[in-house]
Amino acid sequence: MQLTTENIQESNSRYVALHQKFFATLASQLEDGGISVEKILSKIRSFQIAVPSWALGAGGTRFGRFGIGGEPRSLEEKIEDIGLLAKLTKSTDAVSLHIPWDIPSDYEAIMQLAKCHNIGFDAVNSNTFQDYGQEKSYKFGSLSHNDPKVREQAVAHNKQVIEVGEKLGSKGLTVWLADGSNFPGQQSFRRALDNTFESLQKIYASMPEDWKLLLEYKPYEPNFYSTVIPDWGTSHLLCRQLGDRAKVLVDLGHHLPNTNIEQIVGILLGQNQLAGFHFNDSKFGDDDLTTGSIKPYQLFLIFLELVAGTEDGCQSWESISWMIDASHNTKDPLEDLMQALVAIKIAYAKSLLVDRVKLTMYQLNGDVVMAQEILQKAFLTDVRPLLKEARLQSGGALEPISIYRQHEIRKQLIQKRGENTRATGL
Ligand code: PSV
Ligand code: MN
Ligand code: MN
């Protein structure tokens, strides 16, 4: 798949004059309002979001899957795809692996390849939610299972995942459990949670000193009556008892409808308990829709909490992990990921425009109307010229999707990899 720096420059030359016009107007408007455009650009440039290895193929639903063609057949090809995203968007510099889907066969070679593409290894994900030939079934749970032998196997798997991550230079283990029950009476809530804690303790103890444990929660699916870690409160409870390096991971899709996610983020951040994010969007549940496609205002409010909490010193920006977790079956996954990366940075850039001094003043004075005005002013600003300028300065593409289409990258991938390839994942 060929996309050179010259190709990107050639494509940019078509759009740059128009971009400069829009950028100059926005920049002078922001500077007049006392905002340093250079500071915002530097924050947008340096903000990088990891891409999960399972998002590079066309995702399925319970009812069907429609392949896109040219899907990566190996970890190597997944890294090549992420390398392309990095080159065009300058917004991702890491891959998050799911084990056993992505066990490298040759560590040296895979690290070399990743380095060539300027890609590092983000948190590694364990998988105890499927049977993939292991001795004991996870049908009735893993870390929470009633049978100590199944728990041991699940703990051993997590330890192996840590070993894989260590060899690659990862610094975190993400644990998401499908454990739970489908019917009342099936499981003792307390026993399941106690077993889970005991298992997590063993995993936590085997993590290197400079690693963190990112613990996800999810209220339902694949279990539909109860899950062992249904909400941030339960995740937080476990993390607090495990130790400082265990923190709560917020997957935006893992909430019941209308949950105030920005408040959860604010509270966790205030307590230095936020491990990171799985970005996606949701209309009904864990829909894994493209980030920012359904509720961009919510995403902006989440970023406002992140900016406020980190600026106020509750937790450092660097201590938070950023990852996309989305995959569905009607878009080219690479185009979808480009849209997601842009949407995340749009929300971030808008949150940086909020006049927090004034906002605090209005809050303290009980001026509800003006507090809302402050948020609306930032949210309704079209910040896309800032993102484009940041990409241009970093050597990325002004119009990533256009150049991707112009060079018929998917067609090239199909020619190289085949029509019916299937990336490992869900
Ligand atoms: C579960 O719904 C989840 O969000 C977890 O993060 C998994 O690791 C991921 O999806 C992929 O299955
Ligand atoms: Mn997730
Ligand atoms: Mn999910």
Residue 172 included in any domain: yes
Residue 36, helix vs strand vs coil = coil
CA of 287 to the centre of ligand 3 (A): 8
What is the predicted pLDDT for the residue at 64? 78
The predicted model gives 232-252 an average pLDDT of: 98
Which CATH number fits the domain that encloses residue 384? 3.20.20.150
Q: Is the CB of 255 under 6 A from ligand 1?
A: no
CA dist 353 and 35 (Å) reads 7
Question: What is the per-residue pLDDT across 36-67, written as a single tens digit (0 to 9) for each?
Answer: 999 999 999 999 999 999 999 887 677 778 88
Please state, as a whole number, how many other Cβ atoms lie within 10 Å of the Cβ of residue 348. Answer: 24
Torsion of CA 138, 144, 145, 151, to 10 degrees: 80
Residue 423 included in any domain: no
Q: Which atom of ligand 1 is nearest to the CA of 426?
A: 12
Q: What residue's CA is closest to ligand 1, atom 5?
A: 176
Q: What residue's CA is closest to ligand 1, atom 6?
A: 176
- Structural domain containing residue 186: 5-417
Question: What is the per-residue pLDDT across 115-165, written as a single tens digit (0 to 9) for each?
Answer: 999 999 999 999 999 999 999 999 999 999 999 999 999 999 999 999 999
CA dist 302 and 224 (Å) reads 27
Q: Is the CB of 176 under 6 A from ligand 1?
A: yes
Question: What is the per-residue pLDDT across 344-359, written as a single tens digit (0 to 9) for each?
Answer: 999 999 999 999 999 9
CA of 323 to the centre of ligand 1 (A): 11
CA of 254 to the centre of ligand 3 (A): 6
Please state, as a whole number, how many other Cβ atoms lie within 10 Å of the Cβ of residue 189. Answer: 14
What is the predicted pLDDT for the residue at 98? 96
Q: Is the CB of 282 under 6 A from ligand 1?
A: no
pLDDT at 5 over 90: yes
> Cis (ω within 30 of 0) for the bond into 148?
no
The question of ipTM being above 0.90 is answered as yes
Please state, as a whole number, how many other Cβ atoms lie within 10 Å of the Cβ of residue 112. Answer: 10
Residue 352 included in any domain: yes
Site to substitute for ligand 1 among 325, 327, 328, 424, most atoms within 8 A of C-beta: 325
pLDDT at 408 over 70: yes
CA of 324 to the centre of ligand 1 (A): 10
pLDDT at 424 over 80: no
CA of 166 to the centre of ligand 2 (A): 21
Residue 9 included in any domain: yes
DSSP structure string for 98-111: BTTTT--S-HHHHH
Could you give the C-alpha distances from 60 to 103, 128, 326, 327, in angstroms and in order? 22, 19, 11, 8
Q: Is the CB of 216 under 6 A from ligand 1?
A: yes
Q: How many CA atoms lie within 13 A of 64 on its CB side?
A: 3
Q: Which atom of ligand 1 is nearest to the CA of 286?
A: 2
pLDDT at 425 over 70: no
What is the predicted pLDDT for the residue at 61? 72
Average pLDDT, the chain: 96
Residue 251, helix vs strand vs coil = strand
Residue 322 included in any domain: yes
Q: What residue's CA is closest to ligand 1, atom 2?
A: 286
Q: Are 227 and 182 in contact, with CB atoms under 8 Å apart?
A: no
CA dist 195 and 179 (Å) reads 11
Which band of pLDDT confidence, cut at 50, 70 and 90, is reported for residue 1?
low
Q: What residue's CA is closest to ligand 1, atom 12?
A: 426
* Domain count across the chain: 1
Question: What is the per-residue pLDDT across 249-266, written as a single tens digit (0 to 9) for each?
Answer: 999 999 999 999 999 999
What is the predicted pLDDT for the residue at 284? 94
Residue 426 included in any domain: no
Could you give the C-alpha distances from 206 to 2, 128, 182, 209, in angstroms and in order? 42, 18, 32, 9
Site to substitute for ligand 1 among 176, 223, 284, most atoms within 8 A of C-beta: 176
Residue 158 included in any domain: yes
**Of all residues in the chain, what percent carry a pLDDT higher than 70?**
99
What is the predicted pLDDT for the residue at 426? 63
What is the predicted pLDDT for the residue at 329? 84
218, exposed or middle or buried, with CB in 10 Å at 0-12, 13-18, 19+?
A: buried
pLDDT at 414 over 80: yes
Q: Is the CB of 379 under 6 A from ligand 1?
A: no
Q: What residue's CA is closest to ligand 1, atom 8?
A: 176
Residue 191 included in any domain: yes
pLDDT at 327 over 90: no
